[in-house]
Structure 1
Amino acid sequence: MEDLAIARACAEFADDKKAENIRILDLRGLSPVIDYFVLCSATSAPQLRAVRDNIEDEMKEKHGQRPLYKDGNYESQWLIIDYGNVMVHVLTPEKREYYALEELWGDAPEVALKSDEPAPEPKPRAKKVAAKKPAAKKAATKRATKKKAD
């Protein structure tokens, strides 16, 4: 199953349990570890549980997909389900506003929830650049070594 199809299926199963403000963000080319975020809101602890459980149950039953990892408890008001290249975040509206994942990943294009629209072309992955050590650190090390010698 393609990653975008997994993301859309998760969004659909969240919608089945009346999750609100469901969005899929395309992180290809922006994140070295994940391709899609599915974000949705649930207004209570029972709804958080219902949304997460429905996504897991339906993905297993209809698509044979089990999460690689899941995290969060109901008191934290933020549950995560990891399907490899797709990560589902189920949050209360307050936690979603506080952590502002949409703003954090503001460069990520939003993908249509239904499959009648194709996914946007991925951006090329950003190359990691090795950080240069500041010269001040070297000077401080030399001074410390000099003091020990005295």
Structure 2
Amino acid sequence: MKDAEKLAAFCATIADERKADNIVQLKLADISTVTDFFILCTANSEPHLRAIADTIVRDAREKLKVRPRKVDGKPASHWIIIDYTNVLIHIMTNEMRELYQLESLWGDAPTVSAIKTLRKKTPA
């Protein structure tokens, strides 16, 4: 569980550094056999979605020496899932996040952290 907790925190931090919005980390270990942690975050475009996913996979491999079991989805689908078995990362566009409302499916799960990073748009 400690390794899963460390990986989840690491991935949430990377998502924040890549400017993902509305990052939520849910602890599912006590209520689900699917995984220990879910991380949900929002990307603002297809390239942004890809950049967040690629950076998480690369940095976890280089710094924590872990590889995902599977990466599913493409930027064109507006949803990418990175599966580390004990940590699932859902990177979605705002439209997909609102449509599927995964947080409500796991309403019993304690929120470990919620990084609200809705960034103010600066005038060009």
- For the aligned pair, the TM-score class normalised by the smaller chain equals 0.7 to 0.9
Shift in alpha-carbon separation, 1:17–1:76, aligned structure 2, 3 A:
same
Aligned-residue offset at 1:90? 0.1
> Deviations 1:106-141 (Å, cap 9, x if unpaired)?
110100369xxxxxxxxxxxxxxxxxxxxxxxxxxx
- State which structure, 1 or 2, has the greater radius of gyration over its C-alpha atoms: 1
* 2:122 counterpart residue number: none
Name the SS for the 1:108 alignment partner. coil
> Deviations 1:36-91 (Å, cap 9, x if unpaired)?
00110001000000000000010011110110111001111000001111000000
Alignment of 1:105-124 (within 5 A): 105-112=106-113
* 1:4 counterpart residue number: 5
Which consecutive residues of structure 1, in runs of 5 or more, have no partner in the other structure? 115-150
1:11–1:113 contact (8 Å) kept in structure 2: no
**Larger RCO: 1 or 2 (CA < 8 Å, sep 6+):** 2
Give the superposed CA RMSD: 1.4
> Deviations 1:5-51 (Å, cap 9, x if unpaired)?
10000001111110000110011121112110011000100000000
* Superposition misfits of 4+ residues, deviation over 3 angstroms: none
Aligned residue-pair number? 114
Name the SS for the 2:75 alignment partner. coil
* 1:59 counterpart residue number: 60
Name the SS for the 1:5 alignment partner. helix
Matches of 2:113 and 2:81, distance apart in 1: 21
Which consecutive residues of structure 2, in runs of 5 or more, have no partner in the other structure? 116-124
Q: Percent identity of the aligned residues?
A: 47
**Equivalent AA in structure 2 for residue 72 of structure 1:** G
Give me the TM-score of the superposition, normalised by structure 2.
0.88
